[in-house]
Amino acid sequence: MKGGKGLYSVRMRAERGHAHISGAEGIFGENDIGETVLAYVARALHHSKGAPDTLELKVELLPRPPALISALPVCTLKTTCPADAKRKAALLLARAGVSERAIGKAFRILSAGRMRGAALLDAAGGERLEPDRKRGVRASMLGISRGAMKSLEAALSEKKLDHPRVKDALVLASKVASADGIAAELCISDDPDYTTGYVAAPALGYVRLPRIKKKGSLEGGRAFFTTKASAASRLARYLEETPVLVGKISEIGDIITLHGLQARHNHRKPGGKKILGKKDRTGRAASGPGRLGR
């Protein structure tokens, strides 16, 4: 096996009675492995879902140097309740090019919960593309450099968002968004105590959605939407196997309204396209919650 300039993937997963409790991973140089393993063990033993009975740690030399990417820019959307947050999530997904049918399907999958990874859906037709629907696909072999992590923590602290969950999810979503053919991701945590979800997309960044579910709810999961259904297995291989390291962060923004997000994207016009249309400000665009059957 060829070395990855001495970089290792360190992965932890903890379970109790075969039920998954927590997982974490990163990419580190040899000198940081010991400290990381201790931190992961402490995290697993003090998880809000309770103590595990089994803790598995893997330390694996990267087969090749990681691809370097930037983290997605982050903002938090103003939301009032689960219905409002879901309606806004649907609008964002539609703007990222996901069809109403695929959005509806993703929300139904996430409502049912209990997946071990993410559903992979055709952004146009909504068809499930992963071979094992209970497992889904898992984004793995990912991490953030020491320098980028320092900058991220400082920027998140300023917005009172410096929490491991936000950092981990941002790294994961940034790898997913870096994949060829990814239109967007939708995530609702399956942790009954954590009620902030997100929509992430190359064109939108990482948009946090507070109050997307009620406290105590067991719903949750992830959906990845692709515009290249015919290359689904290549995409899954990239997500699961290609080492990717976040080496740079982007803007960590404030709490904004849908209108504010629209103004920001109209101003920047990434890729020369508007991200949110005028209609969206009034909430009349294609995929309101009623149209999603939720």
**Which positions touch ligand AMP (CB under 6 A)?**
115, 117-118, 138-140, 189-191, 220-222
C-beta of residue 235 within 8 angstroms of C-beta of residue 120: yes
CA gap 17, 153 in Å, rounded: 34
What is d(CA 74, CA 165) in angstroms, rounded to the nearest whole number? 14
CB 19, min distance to ligand AMP, A? 12
In the complex, least distance from residue 56 CB atom to ligand COA, rounded to whole angstroms: 6
Residue number with CB closer to ligand AMP (139 or 258): 139
Q: How far apart are CA 86 and CA 5, in angstroms?
A: 43
What single DSSP character describes residue 287?
T
The interface region with ligand COA, picked from 22-30, 144-152, 213-221, 283-291 by CB under 6 A, is 22-30
25/280 with CB nearer ligand COA: 25
- Name which position in 11, 95, 175, 211 contacts ligand COA (CB under 6 A): 11
Tell me, letter by letter, the H, E, C secondary structure of 160-178: CCCCHHHHHHHHHHHHHHH
Closest distance to ligand COA from the beta carbon of 278 (Å): 34
Cβ atoms < 10 Å from Cβ of 10: 20
Question: Which one of ligand AMP, ligand COA, none is in contact with 135 (Cβ closer than 5 to 8 A by kind)?
Answer: ligand COA
How many other CB atoms sit within 10 Å of the CB of residue 46?
10
Q: For ligand AMP, give the closer residue by CB, 182 or 275.
A: 182
Distance CA 200, CA 174 (A): 8
Q: In this complex, which beta carbon is closest to ligand COA, that of residue 138 or of residue 264?
A: 138
Record the tokens describing residue 220, joined without a space.
Answer: 């949750």
**Interface residues for ligand COA in 34-63 (CB under 6 A)?**
56, 58
Find the binding residues for ligand COA in span 109-128 (CB under 6 A): 116
In whole angstroms, give the CA distance from residue 21 to residue 255: 30
Question: How far apart, in whole angstroms, are the C-alpha atoms of residue 27 and residue 45?
Answer: 21
**121 in helix, strand or coil?**
strand
Hey, which residues between 153 and 172 contact ligand COA (CB under 6 A)? Answer: 165, 168-169, 172
Q: Which residue has the tokens 């609008």?
A: 91
Please list the alpha-helical segments (H only) found in the chain. Answer: 33-45, 82-95, 100-112, 146-158, 164-178, 232-241, 258-268, 278-281
Give the residue at shortest CB distance from ligand AMP. Answer: 189
Note whether 208 binds ligand COA by CB under 6 A: no
**Least distance from C-beta 222 to ligand AMP, angstroms?**
4
Indicate which of ligand COA, ligand AMP, none lies near residue 191 (CB less than 5 to 8 Å, by partner kind). ligand AMP
Q: Which residue is nearest to ligand COA (CB)?
A: 23
Q: Which one of 140, 174, 226, 287 is in contact with ligand COA (CB under 6 A)?
A: 140
Site residues (vs ligand COA, CB under 6 A):
11, 13, 20, 23-25, 56, 58, 116, 135, 138, 140, 165, 168-169, 172
